[in-house]
Amino acid sequence: MSETAEKQGAAALTLGAIGVVYGDIGTSPLYTMKEIFSPATGIPLDAVHVIGAVSVVFWGLMMVVTLKYVLLILRASNRGEGGIMALTALAVEAAGKTPARHTALLLTGVLGAALFYGDSVITPAISVLSAVEGMEVVTPVLKPYVLPISLGVLVGLFMMQRHGTGVVGKLFGPIIVVWFAVLAFTGLLQIMQQPSILAALNPLQAVAFLRAQGWHMFVAMGAIVLAFTGVEALYADMGHFGKKPIQLAWMALVLPALALNYMGQGALLMRDPSALENPFYRMFPQAWLIAAVVLATCATVIASQAVISGAYSMTKQAIQLGLLPRMQVHYTSAMEAGQIYMPEVNWILLVAVLLAVLGFGSSSALAAAYGIAVTMTMLITTVLTFFVIRSGWHYPLPLAVGATGFFLALDAVLVMACSLKFWEGGWFPLALGLGLFVLMATWRRGRELLIESISQNDPELLPFITSLSGESLHRTSRTAVYAVANPDTVPQALLHNLKHNQVIHERNLILTVVFHEVPSIPVEECVRVTPLVPGFWTVQVNYGFKDTPDIPQALELCLAQGLAVNLFETSYFLSREIIVPTRGSGMAHWREGLFAALARNAGSVAGFLRLPNNCVIELGTRVQI
């Protein structure tokens, strides 16, 4: 590739990163300063406190976003991928030497992933509401229409998801670039009218502000943390854009624009304390307000889109890691495997978002619910990073502690600060996250019990198929593929075929699909074929948690290992287990009932593995757990 082409590619990736990665944190100026000085926090609105608060925001962006995520966390690449799932897999691989530690790290990462869904509900609700609330600044007459318009925008956003984000995605970058340019320009205009706000660049102002607050510091930080929400997207989207474009976008545009806008809002509040009703929109001249509301709404829709797409991706990864039951996955692009649409996730998210908007009613009320799930995810990210640095990168213990200890303390302060808002709304995303964690843990444990039960009750595979060689069974000249979870026992579908049809196929493949705790598997390692007895083979198909399963495509790869499969003469036999909960030593009875309900409503195995519909035979079997 020529140097010019490389530069053009880097520029395109950087533009894309601006649009997708920074939409959430880029819309935080809509509500952060208003919440810091709201009556609920009790912080006086005077020059000293404004400078101090802006200084904490600025140095928080430097410490939490720049130092922790942009410079440290982005180094934790799992084969080029990022995000809480990829980091968990990296930490488990590096430090999960014993089963107990493996399970502990995995559950920690799963909790962080579950809490992400709380953010996926609150972000669209607070972002769109705060943007549309600008109509009240245009004229108070429009206030009754804020809630209905916000609901309409959100319903439209979620209904558009089934069409894919490819076309809209091309507009993300330019619109968000304009948004950040407007943030910087309006902030700069206010700073020029009140240059004394530049004292906030001195970190001593931040220290003095926090010291003066005493224990009240936690209340202040509970509002200031709103400036850092969305920071997890930097790491989660590393696989889409790469480390360098994300770093360049932050350093060259996003950080300067955010810093200028927060200082501009501070300068405005120093000159005109009455602007606190909505300091962001009060930065604009009256003639610009309608355009500002439209631009802000577009920016918040884009920020919401990024979080919704992230929820789809994380759900797909969780399914393939065995943490959630199968769901429908629609691929909305022939070119990009990462562009997916999941109907069940989409409608569940929509209902939760609409309930949040109706239940809380305003961006200020939602701000109380915002933060606790995000900061807990940030804390979990730091903990997992320690194990990666210590066990994966083999750094000395003092260096590993030094690299993560400061951020761990900072994250702990932010979690405690947000915990003060628990009864004001913080319980909402936390309840969503913990509920999902219970579902994930129950599904994973239930699958383990299911495989154990099948292993105990079904005969061993090798002795059974060896005994068939002496039987005078009719053999049909086709290939049978038996998809199983345990390749060491006889598939229930094979037993049914022999019992009811008195027939066996000339070629029988015992197929297992294994999802590994890595983002992707190289093509040459995708398939492993093992001959058993004449007419029988085991085929293990390996995928990473970001790969897309496609069994017919994988079977074509068997030819390289001496097994030719004619896909036009192949039948796929699947066993659908009917779960029967029993009281015993497995799980609590209510969890077994929950697992049975999830299993009944799980998506089709055939659809998940991309099997041709006209070649699938599905047989049911009852299994007690």
Q: What is the pLDDT of residues 143-165, one digit of tens each?
A: 888 899 999 999 988 888 877 65
CATH value at residue 313: 1.20.1740.10
Domain end among 445, 471, 486? 445
Q: Are residues 561 and 585 in the same domain?
A: yes
Q: Note the pLDDT of residue 65.
A: 93
| Percent share of the chain, pLDDT over 90 | 37
The answer as to whether 316 is a domain residue is yes
What's the gap between Cα 509 and its chain centre?
A: 36
515 and 548 Cβ atoms separated by less than 8 Å: no
Q: How confident is the model at residue 166 (pLDDT cuts 50, 70, 90)?
A: low
Domain holding 529, by residue range, is 459-624
Each residue's pLDDT tens digit, 19-66: 778 888 899 999 999 999 988 888 999 999 999 999 999 999 999 999
Strands 536-544 and 570-580, sheet pairing = unpaired
Q: Which of 433, 484, 167, 170 is nearest to 314 (CA)?
A: 433
98 and 387 Cβ atoms separated by less than 8 Å: no
Q: Are residues 352 and 265 in the same domain?
A: yes
Q: Note the pLDDT of residue 1.
A: 44
The answer as to whether 481 is a domain residue is yes
The answer as to whether 451 is a domain residue is no
Domain end among 391, 417, 445? 445
Q: Are residues 373 and 416 in the same domain?
A: yes
Cα 340 to Cα 327: distance, rounded to the nearest angstrom = 12
The answer as to whether 507 is a domain residue is yes
Each residue's pLDDT tens digit, 364-419: 888 878 888 888 989 999 999 999 998 888 889 999 998 899 999 999 999 999 88
The answer as to whether 489 is a domain residue is yes
Q: How confident is the model at residue 301 (pLDDT cuts 50, 70, 90)?
A: confident
Q: Are residues 398 and 533 in the same domain?
A: no
Q: Are residues 483 and 344 in the same domain?
A: no
- DSSP letters for 348-390: HHHHHHHHHHHHH-SHHHHHHHSSHHHHHHHHHHHHHHHHIII
Domain end among 445, 469, 487? 445
- Name, in order, each residue with C-beta under 8 angstroms of 384's C-beta and a sequence gap of 6 or more: 84, 87, 88, 90, 91, 105, 108, 109, 112
582 and 624 Cβ atoms separated by less than 8 Å: yes
Q: Are residues 478 and 440 in the same domain?
A: no
Q: Note the pLDDT of residue 5.
A: 47
The answer as to whether 1 is a domain residue is no
Q: Are residues 468 and 598 in the same domain?
A: yes
246 or 80, which is more confident? Answer: 246
517 or 4, which is more confident? Answer: 517
| Percent share of the chain, pLDDT over 70 | 95
Q: Are residues 464 and 491 in the same domain?
A: yes
The answer as to whether 453 is a domain residue is no
Q: Are residues 60 and 101 in the same domain?
A: yes
Each residue's pLDDT tens digit, 442-486: 999 998 888 888 777 778 889 988 888 766 777 888 899 999 888
Q: Are residues 180 and 33 in the same domain?
A: yes
107 and 268 Cβ atoms separated by less than 8 Å: no
Q: Note the pLDDT of residue 404.
A: 92
Strand order in the sheet with 570-580: 527-531, 536-544, 503-516, 474-483, 570-580, 616-624
Query: Which residue reads 């699947």 in tokens?
Result: 574
Query: Which residue reads 């807990």 in tokens?
Result: 376
Q: Are residues 310 and 422 in the same domain?
A: yes
Q: Are residues 110 and 256 in the same domain?
A: yes
What's the number of domains the chain is made of?
2
Q: Note the pLDDT of residue 338.
A: 57
Q: What average pLDDT score do residues 246-263 get?
A: 94
The answer as to whether 226 is a domain residue is yes
